Homo-oligomer: A and B are copies of this chain.
Amino acid sequence: MTTTDLPEGALVPFTVYIDFESGDLTPDPVVLRRGLADLAGYFLSDVETATPADGDMYSVHEIRVPATNNNLLSSTTVLQPGKVGDEYFMTKGHFHATRDRAEIYLTLSGQGLLVMALEDGTTETKEMRPGIVNYVPGHWAHRSVNTGDEPLVFYAVYIGDAGYDYATIAEQGFPVIVVEGERGPEIVANPRYRRA
């Protein structure tokens, strides 16, 4: 840099290193941790029946920039393997507060499913594995589910002003859930789903 006279609203370029296996960022100043207690009520079974029964279910490692429509927010998520009853460990899931904003997921390690839903109950479920880009268009709530034995690590990028609406999912749930069946993951109707 030879000047500090940046255009209004401009930032100075920076870099962050992602460990594709662990999802760790360097530097890593902002980490959100979600344990079993935080997910109480999100599974059909009581979270006290979870295996494993301790530790974080997932952590989100954020690359922070101003939450404006000209910036891109991004983060790695590290979702541990495990189950609550028959349901695999999963993220809470959310709509964007600004409904039409898209998001891109790039899976870096592990395997899972990305469950998406419109407010009318329409659902889409897509595979997550290393190298797969999941395009989550605007209007689709999104939740990731770890169906493997290793941590599921993905990098998400979204428009700065997308915002988060966790309340709708907390109240209504997703129309489908992902359970362990005899031959692997099964996507089944959520008996507790309540459409608005």
Contact = CB atoms under 8 A, between A and B. Distances in A.
A6 B155 contact: no
Identical chains in the assembly: 2
A127 B15 CA distance: 8
Given A122-B3, A157-B157, A104 B17 contact: no
Interface in A150-196: 155, 157-160
A30 to B, nearest CB: 14
Interface string A83-121: 000000000000000111111101000000010101111
A74 interface: yes
Interface residues of A, number: 60
A118 B72 contact: no
A35 interface: no
Interface string A7-30: 101111111111110000000000
A10 to B, nearest CB: 4
B1 A63 contact: no
Contacts of A123: 1-2
Contact of A13 (B1, B20, B136): B136
A33 interface: no
A41 interface: no
A139 B15 contact: no
Nearest to A7: B139
A32 to B, nearest CB: 18
A38 interface: no
A120 B5 CA distance: 9
A192 B15 CA distance: 29
Interface of A: 1-3, 5-7, 9-20, 63, 65, 69-72, 74, 98-104, 106, 114, 116, 118-124, 126-127, 130-140, 155, 157-160
